[in-house]
Amino acid sequence: MTALDTPGTLTALAGLRPLLAEIGDAKRVRVAGTPGSLAEQAFARAWGRLVAGEDVADVAESETAAAVARARLAGIDAGVLTAAGLSDDEALAVLRRGFDEVAGPLDHRLRDRLGAALSPLPAPAATPALAGTLNAQPRAGATAPGRPRIVVEPPESHGDHCLTVAVYGVLVAPVVGADPVAPFLLGLAHHLHNVVLPDAGFAGEVLLGDTLERVVATLEERELAALPDALADRVRGVLALRPGADVPEARAFHAADVLDRVLQVHHHARAAAFTAAQALDDLELVHAGPVQAYHLDVLAAAGL
């Protein structure tokens, strides 16, 4: 029997999977005027808030709530909506509709907490150096010892991955009986060593051999030393959970990590197999409206 062999656990994970996949797409969505994917922007903002001294639980809940709303609203956030003339209350109502549209699979207690935390996020603080570098550091993708690397384009960044794992950790936490704050912080911090160490994947880790643990520890400590003392101590505490899966918070993190890694591979597989018919038929690319018939006539005449 494994830690997941409990009533309802497997069903809960299966129910969460579509939402997790949508949230992960923030790695691939960008907006004009701000560099990086929406996930990278959130990663930098979360670290900026933590370094500025905000409470970790507040950051975890508000950033996760924003990520859930972002699943359908993408780059439409409170700042965009108020710039377009909506009041703060009207902007929040739009965010709430986006959140409610996808939040059904969440644990009801967590859903209520995240719904209460849904609000316009603070203006971005200065991006800590570690966050900026991890947003620029590509991930290796799928590698295995003794085999050539499978290169997929574009690669996700470590900021993309870490933010997504942090959010998944919060959403999965009730499934394994964990408090969501530690998995969130561990998700943000678990690749600190990659600020300096380029990612060669599992194949590279194997080649590092018995120096791997020392390399990771040295580079992690280098980044921790640049953080405020209280935050560095908190991060050290959650990093100590990483080696095993014997407590709920570690299980939530490892579940989030493996789900993101495999959902990323599924994304690339879907992208490679995508067809025009799917866009036209399944997604109704030529959608209903006053000129739909004309659009269809144009496509028919063009042989499309």
- pLDDT of 6 reads 59
- pLDDT of 195 reads 98
- pLDDT of 150 reads 82
Q: Work out the average pLDDT over 277-284.
A: 84
Count the residues in the chain: 304
Residue-wise pLDDT tens digits, 140-170: 988 888 988 888 888 899 999 999 999 999 9
Q: Work out the average pLDDT over 250-274.
A: 91
Residue-wise pLDDT tens digits, 52-87: 999 999 999 999 999 999 999 999 999 999 999 999
Say whether pLDDT at 93 is over 90.
yes
- pLDDT of 223 reads 98
Structural domain includes residue 258: yes
Structural domain includes residue 221: yes
Say whether pLDDT at 130 is over 80.
yes
Same domain, 250 and 293: no
pLDDT over 70, % of the chain:
97
Structural domain includes residue 61: yes
Same domain, 19 and 52: yes
Domain with 258, as residue range(s), is: 9-136+151-273
Degrees, nearest 5: CA angle 298-303-304: 75
Say whether pLDDT at 13 is over 80.
yes
Same domain, 130 and 66: yes
Q: Work out the average pLDDT over 280-290.
A: 86
- pLDDT of 284 reads 86
Structural domain includes residue 99: yes
Domains of the chain: total = 2
Same domain, 295 and 265: no
Same domain, 85 and 28: yes
**Average pLDDT value for the chain:** 93
pLDDT range class, residue 263, cuts 50, 70, 90: very high
Say whether pLDDT at 124 is over 90.
no
Same domain, 38 and 181: yes
Same domain, 74 and 102: yes
Same domain, 269 and 279: no
- pLDDT of 123 reads 76
Structural domain includes residue 143: no
Same domain, 229 and 251: yes
Structural domain includes residue 75: yes
Same domain, 254 and 190: yes
Same domain, 193 and 304: no
Give pTM, 2 decimals.
Answer: 0.91
Same domain, 97 and 66: yes
Structural domain includes residue 219: yes
- pLDDT of 3 reads 58
Structural domain includes residue 79: yes
pLDDT over 90, % of the chain:
79
Residue-wise pLDDT tens digits, 186-235: 999 999 999 999 999 999 999 999 999 999 999 999 999 999 999 999 99
